Structure 1
């Protein structure tokens, strides 16, 4: 697979991982889903695990794209970009993050 494909996959995995880790937090869950986080405790634990796994897979995709010294640098930059994108989305349109968690229902 071409390195550009690996890097695009790494970026998507980094963004998805950051979204899932954000949704695993109580404050962000309440903000995005408009219902108490206590009702979705098992799903939030699953999101935390899936987020960590997604970030690890992002690192592996970076390693597949380039040599290790450059891959780690790119991975950290992707983590920063993903975190910034999630922060801006939480500030402006938090409901957009619902797209990353189709298992959650928004009704109370």
Structure 2
């Protein structure tokens, strides 16, 4: 049961991290909200995205040994990246809750 929760947490962290990394790009930011992100917002989004991906790796390591955990983590990265890409092409506004705290530069 605990392993399943850790893997679910790893998937959510990977999904959110990929979303933040995508929203750090001007093209994807424009799809979700108007204007451009400020330089500070871009730095914060990249830092949050990288940190979330690292947390997901740690959660995967908590479930299995290193070789299996890294394989699961890479598969989670691929699944999350594809999910974010599909959301950006279908309904990009679904990612707006990830940046509710951010404001455009102008």
Q: 2:3 and 2:13 mapped to 1: Cα distance?
A: 15
Two-structure CA RMSD over aligned residues (Å): 1.4
* 2:36 match: 36
Q: 1:104 and 1:91 mapped to 2: Cα distance?
A: 22
Distance apart, 1:30 and its partner CA: 1.2
* 2:3 match: 3
Distance apart, 1:36 and its partner CA: 2.3
Correspondence 1:65 to 2:63? yes
Structure 2: segments with no counterpart, 5+ residues: none
Distance apart, 1:104 and its partner CA: 2.4
Cα deviations by residue, 1:37-82 (Å, 9 ceiling, x for unpaired): 3xx2211210000100000010000000111111000000000010
**Which of 87, 90, 94 is 2:85 aligned to?**
87
Give the TM-score taking structure 1 as reference length. Answer: 0.91
Distance apart, 1:105 and its partner CA: 4.2
* 2:15 match: 15
* 1:49 match: 47
* 1:97 match: 95
Structure 1: segments with no counterpart, 5+ residues: none
Correspondence 1:75 to 2:73? yes
